[in-house]
Amino acid sequence: MTDSLRFAARMESIKASEIRELLKLTERPDMISFAGGLPNPKLFPVQALESLSARVIRDCGRQALQYAATEGYGPLRDKIARRMNRKLDVNVTAANLLITSGSQQGLDLTGKAFLDEGDVVLCESPSYLGAIQAFTPYRPTFIEVDTDSDGMNPDHLRQLLQTVRNVKLIYVVPDFQNPTGRCWSRERRERLVRLADEFNVIVVEDHPYGDLRFEGEPQPSVLSFDREGRVVHLGTFSKTFCPGYRIGWTAASPEVLNKYVLLKQATDLHTSNVGQRVIDSYLEENDLENDIAAITDVYRRQRDVMFESLAEHMPEGVSYEKPSGGLFAWVELPEGMDARKLLVRSLEENVAFVPGGAFYPNGGRENAMRLNFSTMDEPRIREGIRRLAGVVRAAAAGIGSGA
């Protein structure tokens, strides 16, 4: 008879997601899935990578296949720094950059570096599920800040900073947020950083979608307003290039970055050197901005098709804002409608999505859905929204009839 194993106390909050279990069904080929957050694999530069992969091994295999520096491959860090300076109106160098295993690892290192049990993380309402999961093992309390289409409400943010003890981090996805697709105004970005300075709180700017803008002018990054080294900026190649190499980065002040480097060294030594060099060679010889223009053309069209279909099929009482970038549509359902229950019925129709409740760290809101528009082709988007609207209509009729 085995005594029960004694896991760490933090494991009490780490649970398998029932939603994730349900969504394993979405791998069936007949499924119309709006559930994932994946880039469209048709857009990966497979041909270029075929020859580059071989060349990196041929030209520098003995270095690329050996252990390497924790900070990451120098030439790649230089390229990322130059690109950030050009696009984000910042002034960083390789010394501000740590290559991570996807930007998800930047979230984990952030939790490890900053969060004591009981510390408070302020986040948008709703917020990115993966960040909630990354921070949870460090046992913070999440408090949601009121959020509208311009970003966090700065008055509510100030009020929380004034009244809540132990606020350590403010976590935001200012560009085309996951799950809502919203993009913060310039003013809200600047006020966020000034409040962080006033209350000595770290801001984590998670920036996976900033390059995927379909129209309008880019907003300055939150990092661009940072004067005192309180903003940690997370980037990734997963949405603009491909996720399979797991290459992301963390940009921060040297004081913060040095801590992350020590933690990363103890966590996994370094990120795949081969992957870093392949991406570095790709960037050397290709224009990523051209690629991104092609990607955003495809996603813009897919977004338009999804929103045309929503307008055509969804019943009254269902609302949504068309995002100007990113991968996601956020659909709010009438009060009282439970998207988890809708998902079960929707899967019977071979249509998948993520119920909105998953994105509220403290739960309590179930009448929303996150729909991804980047992976399905246009006919499937149309058909999927048609079927999904049917499920919503049936549920609305049930609510309307008091059932």
List binders of a second copy among 94-133 (CB under 8 A). Answer: 100-102, 104-105, 108, 112-116, 119, 130, 133
Distance in Å, CB of 46 to a second copy, minimum: 4
Neighbour-count burial of 97, counting CB atoms closer than 10 A to its CB (0-12 exposed, 13-18 middle, 19+ buried): buried
Structure tokens at 131: 């960040």
- Cα–chain-centroid distance for residue 214? 17
Q: Which helix (H) or strand (E) element contains residue 48?
A: helix 46-64
One-letter amino acid at 304 equals D
Q: Among 272, 300, 349, 393, which residue sits at the site for a second copy (rule: CB under 8 A)?
A: 272
Show the CA angle centred on residue 265, arms to residues 263 and 270, nearest 5°. 125
For a second copy (CB under 8 A), the number of binding residues is: 82
- Which parts of 184-213 interact with a second copy (CB under 8 A)? 200, 202
Choices 42-50, 299-307, 382-390, 391-399; region in contact with a second copy by CB under 8 A? 42-50
| Residue carrying structure tokens 């998902």 | 343
- φ, ψ for residue 210 (rounded to 5)? -55, -30
In angstroms, what is the minimal distance from the CB of 43 to a second copy? 10
Cα–Cα distance, 274 to 218 (Å, whole number) = 32
Q: How far is the CB of 380 from a second copy (least distance, A)?
A: 17
| 394, 345 Cβ separation under 8 angstroms | yes
Among the listed residues 22, 44, 300, 304, the single contact to a second copy using CB under 8 A? 44
Q: By CB under 8 A, name the one of 21, 30, 62, 216 that touches a second copy.
A: 62
Structure-block tokens of residue 8: 């760490």
* One residue of 238, 250, 296, 374 binding a second copy per CB under 8 A: 238
- 165 lies in the binding site for a second copy (CB under 8 A): no
Among 74, 83, 89, 137, binds a second copy (CB under 8 A): 137
Q: Which of 51, 91, 159, 362 binds a second copy (CB under 8 A)?
A: 51
Shortest distance (Å) from residue 9 CB to a second copy: 5
Determine the Cα–Cα distance for residues 282 and 9; give it in Å rounded to an integer.
44
